[in-house]
Amino acid sequence: MGDIRVRLRQFVRVLWRGKALVLGCILLGLLPTILYLMQATPLYTAEVKLMVEGPEASEMLMLERSGGQFRQAPTEALVATESEVLQSSMLIRRLVDKLNLVADPEFNRALREPKPLEEILGWINPLGWLSRLTAASTDTSQMSEAAKKEILHEKVAVAVRRKLKVYSQRRSYVFSAQFSSESREKSRLLANTLAELYLDDRLESSFENSRRVAEWLGERLESLRHDVEVAEAAAERYRSTYNLRRKGDRQSTVTDQQMSELNSRLIIARTELAQKQAKLEQARNLVRSQGSVETAADVLQSPLIQRLREQETVLLRVISEAGKSLGDRHPKIIGYNADLSELRAKIAHEVRKYADSTANDVQVAGSGVHTLERELENLRGQTNVAGGAEVKLRELERQAEVNRGLYESFLSRFKRDVDQDRVKRANARVISPATIPTQPSYPRKLSVLLAALLASLLGGVALVLILDRLDNAVRSVDEAEELTGLPALAVIPLHNGADSNLMQDMADQPRSALADALRSLRITLNLGGEDGAKVVMVTSSMPKEGKTFIAQSLAISLSWVEGRVLLIDGDLHRPRLHASFGLNEEIGLAQVLAGTTTLEQAVVRGVGKGLDFLPAGHLKSVADLISAPAVEAMLAQLAPHYDRIVVDLPPVLAVADPRIFARFADRVIYVVKWNNTPRDAIRNGLKMMSETGINPHGIVLSQVDMRKYSRYSYGDYGSYYGRYRDYYG
């Protein structure tokens, strides 16, 4: 938990240090956004809502009566499909044609006057260069007018489609279309017109499908009707070939019918034969018994015999009456008797004819019976042959029946679709027509500003964190100690005055932050007393880190509280200390080490209260001038005469001199410039000193801007400078 708090504090400190950068990023993000919002053309969005419907009750009833299938109920997938249809290129092109959007500058860029900001952004944007290169590569000068018109129409359709957004609401059958335009009225007109075109397309699609189905059904019906005719004709031909006929609901062959008729006729013929045989037998029995044949019933029923009998009766009555008055010999009586004999002879002749006729009838009836029996026998043989033909006939009739049923089914479907076409309707409707929008939908200034502010803020924070990660400088005591593993001896504030006036400034402001920092450095070095360090050397990793200033300030501070102090300018390559004291650098350390002069001649006495100064001197070649024996001998010669010796050494990474001098130092102070010296330089400098057996006593942060240091809240004692600065006066 403590580690989290520490990291959080570090994060806040990093952000606080980079607050100016964050503020700059915010301004950099907000200013273009505000300019864009001022130049942007407002867009207005109108929305129309549609709903997909199922079949109505009347339509379902009609379909049920006609044997049809119900239309599919709407589903979410169907609604999503319809929303895609609503933004299809076909409907967009129809919308462009209906409203003549090719002549509208909003959708036809060729008719629009570009704004200055758009031109600038277009030339700055790399995508704009790419689009111009693409436009140059697609030259339309060689195309026909129809092709150019089609390309223009397609570009306008693409521009219109970009202004259209279609949404389908989940778990409902509602989907909506939103059109954005620079004009309020135009956005409403576009949305409502698109909805009308969609509904019209639904109707046209339904009618077109029905027309195609009707055409297909008509062709199929014609084919099926032909198949039925062919099948029935084949069955009929086969039936005719084998004399097969249909009788009522049951089918039978002609032979069966003939056999039935022959059986009936045979029964009748046999019955008549039996009757005639009975009459003939009766007549024969009468003749054998010498009975009168005239008493036979058929004889009595003969019209001719009945007339002859009536004549005979009349004649007998006449003879009887004439015999009463005339005798038997009378000529009339004789004539009457002759007539009677003749009449009776006729009757007898007719009777014989009847008997002969009956015998002939019996013979004829018998022949008819025999003939019918032969014909019946022949038909029975034909029936056995016709049985196999009837099986084939049934197969042909079944095939004809199947074709007929299929034909009737398609005919019923055709009639049903024809009836259904009369109630065709679009299975969608507008439930919320588009209205004139009251507020612009783009740009949403508050949302855009907040988004720009948030993006700029996050970008600034990210940039601060990245720069903090990339920043390789040491900015606090904690960082210095963590990097080097050495204690931080002091934090030296930035001195705004000239180095030549340093002694006077320190004398005039004995309670300044610089004086207090030097006092802290003296205490930390434990320079007082017998255990104090006599020789103190100051070095750094790189030039211009403030080591010369610290060496001079430390020497001045020591000279005020200690005995005699000697300040040595050990940087033979870039000497600077002599200028701060207003001295000449011709004679100094270089000549002493070279043996051309003595220390008494080189040391400048009394540059300050109790402070002597040994300049660096000047020689053309100082490459091999500094050696360990010479330095050791010089320090041994100076030690008895001074209580403290402060040596300003050159940077460790620049030359090898510090590693030679530092071997003879009691304390080595390693100076690091605050918020400037790279970490790698510090590590490499300390590594080079460690390889020669030199361990610096501690780190001193130099040129620290105490106000910034306090505001940055590094967490060490320097961050509380603002709280105790009243102690410095």
d(CA 592, CA 602): 7
d(CA 388, CA 383): 9
Range with lowest mean pLDDT among 7-11, 271-275, 422-426: 422-426
d(CA 371, CA 73): 77
- CATH fold match for the domains 40-214 and 475-724: no
d(CA 31, CA 587): 62
Q: Over 70: is that where the pLDDT of 255 sits?
A: no
For 40-214, CATH gives 3.30.1890
Range with lowest mean pLDDT among 314-318, 485-489, 626-630: 314-318
Q: Phi and psi of 180, rounded to 5°?
A: -110, 135
| CB 456, CB 26: distance < 8 Å | yes
d(CA 41, CA 39): 7
| CB 42, CB 448: distance < 8 Å | no
d(CA 700, CA 654): 19
d(CA 109, CA 122): 14
Give the containing element (helix H, strand E) for 184: helix 184-241
- Measured at the alpha carbon of residue 16, what is the angle toward residues 13 and 22, in degrees to the nearest 5? 135
Give the containing element (helix H, strand E) for 350: helix 331-421
Q: Which of 660, 665, 666, 667 is nearest to 688 (CA)?
A: 660
A 10 A CB-CB count for 724 gives 11
- What does the pLDDT read at residue 15? 83
Between strands 565-569 and 611-614, the pairing is parallel
Range with lowest mean pLDDT among 119-133, 253-267, 446-460, 624-638: 119-133
Q: Over 80: is that where the pLDDT of 571 sits?
A: yes
Give the containing element (helix H, strand E) for 49: strand 44-52
Residues 537-555 have a mean pLDDT of 91
- What does the pLDDT read at residue 183? 92
Q: Over 80: is that where the pLDDT of 175 sits?
A: yes
| CB 674, CB 703: distance < 8 Å | yes
Ramachandran assignment for 463, one of left (phi > 0), alpha (psi -120 to 50 degrees), beta (any other): alpha
Which has more confidence, 214 or 647? Answer: 647
- What does the pLDDT read at residue 64? 45
State yes or no: cis peptide before 443, omega within 30 of 0.
Answer: yes
Residues 465-476 have a mean pLDDT of 82
CATH class of the 475-724 domain in this structure: alpha beta
Q: Over 80: is that where the pLDDT of 173 sits?
A: yes
Q: Over 80: is that where the pLDDT of 71 sits?
A: no
- What does the pLDDT read at residue 139? 58
Range with lowest mean pLDDT among 57-71, 292-306, 320-334: 57-71
Strands lying side by side in the sheet with 535-540: 488-493, 698-704, 667-673, 535-540, 644-648, 565-569, 611-614, 604-608
Residues 218-245 have a mean pLDDT of 73
In sequence order, the 6+-apart residues with CB closer than 8 A to the CB of 69 are: 63
Kindly list the distances between the CA atom of residue 6 and the CA atoms of 359, 458, 660, in Å, as whole numbers in the listed order: 152, 22, 42
In sequence order, the 6+-apart residues with CB closer than 8 A to the CB of 255 are: 243, 379, 382, 383, 386
Across the chain, mean pLDDT equals 79
- What does the pLDDT read at residue 247? 42
Binning pLDDT at 50, 70 and 90, where does residue 238 land? confident
Q: Which of 352, 426, 442, 317 is nearest to 44 (CA)?
A: 442
Residues 496-515 have a mean pLDDT of 69
Kindly list the distances between the CA atom of residue 89 and the CA atoms of 80, 86, 101, 154, 343, in Å, as whole numbers in the listed order: 16, 9, 15, 9, 122
| CB 23, CB 43: distance < 8 Å | no
* Sequence spans of domains, the chain: 1-39+443-471, 40-214, 252-421, 475-724
| Amino acid identity at 9 | R
Which pLDDT tens digit goes with each residue over 427-443?
788 999 999 999 998 88
d(CA 593, CA 618): 12
| Amino acid identity at 300 | L
Binning pLDDT at 50, 70 and 90, where does residue 528 land? very low
For the chain, how big is the Rg over CA atoms in Å?
70
DSSP string, 569-634: E--SSS--HHHHHT---SSSHHHHHHTSS-HHHHPEEEEETTEEEE-----S--TTT--HHHHHHH
Q: pTM of this prediction?
A: 0.52
Which has more confidence, 49 or 349? Answer: 49
d(CA 269, CA 248): 28
| CB 216, CB 385: distance < 8 Å | no
Structure tokens at 259: 């056999």
Range with lowest mean pLDDT among 50-54, 57-61, 90-94, 216-220: 57-61
Best-predicted range by mean pLDDT among 275-284, 299-308, 620-629?
A: 620-629
d(CA 615, CA 199): 101
